[in-house]
Amino acid sequence: MPALRQARVSDHGTIVECVQRWWGDSRTPEQARELSLLLPRLFLQFFSGTSLVLEDGTDIRAFLIGFYAADNATEAYIHFVGVDPKLRGQGMARSLYTAFFQRAAEEGRTVVRAVTSPTNAGSVTFHRAMGFSLESGDSEADGLPVHTDYDGPGQDRVCFYQRIAP
């Protein structure tokens, strides 16, 4: 298992490259590039202390970008998670989430939130397997509660929450 460490601002370029490469098997190069735009440098500039990397030697094998809510002292949010496709199914994402939960709980956080696209069946399955609950939505798609236009027009999302012990 690669070593866990706190993310650094200097990881930004590598993480963007990872997103473009790792999602290249399921998206066009343009779609993978657009996905990487969800990770501007500011996430590592301001939230590296709450974001995590799994590294094997000098190569990033998985990452979690997350932060603690500034306006709600009990909540934390997982924004983006990626795992090298060659290593998926080996517990890396679970390890990242578990470490994030532990660190968030140590800081007094009691709820972790995450969102995904209703068409991302793998993400929905993973979050449910991790014990996340589904928030009620304003519509439904494939039996899932959906928040219409959550991330902008046409950007529907499934919203999850997980209670953690402080």
In tens, the pLDDT along 20-44 reads 999 988 888 999 999 999 999 999 9
What average pLDDT does range 118-137 have in this prediction?
Answer: 96
The DSSP 8-state label assigned to residue 122 in this structure reads: H
Picking from 88, 109, 130, the residue at the C-terminal end of a domain is 109
The confidence band for 106, taking pLDDT boundaries of 50, 70 and 90, is: very high
What average pLDDT does range 109-114 have in this prediction?
Answer: 99
The confidence band for 58, taking pLDDT boundaries of 50, 70 and 90, is: confident
In which domain, by residue range, is 78 found? 1-109
Of 18, 25, 38, 106, whose CA–CA distance to 78 is shortest?
Answer: 38
Element (H, E) at 98: helix 92-106
In this prediction, residue 1 carries a pLDDT of 79
In this prediction, residue 166 carries a pLDDT of 75
Residues 62, 131 share a domain? no
Which position has the higher pLDDT, 166 or 44? 44
Residues 6, 39 share a domain? yes
Residues 123, 101 share a domain? no
Q: Is the pLDDT of residue 121 over 80?
A: yes
Residues 90, 157 share a domain? no
Distance separating alpha carbons of residues 149 and 154, to the nearest angstrom: 5
The confidence band for 57, taking pLDDT boundaries of 50, 70 and 90, is: confident
Distance separating alpha carbons of residues 90 and 103, to the nearest angstrom: 22
Distance separating alpha carbons of residues 63 and 58, to the nearest angstrom: 14
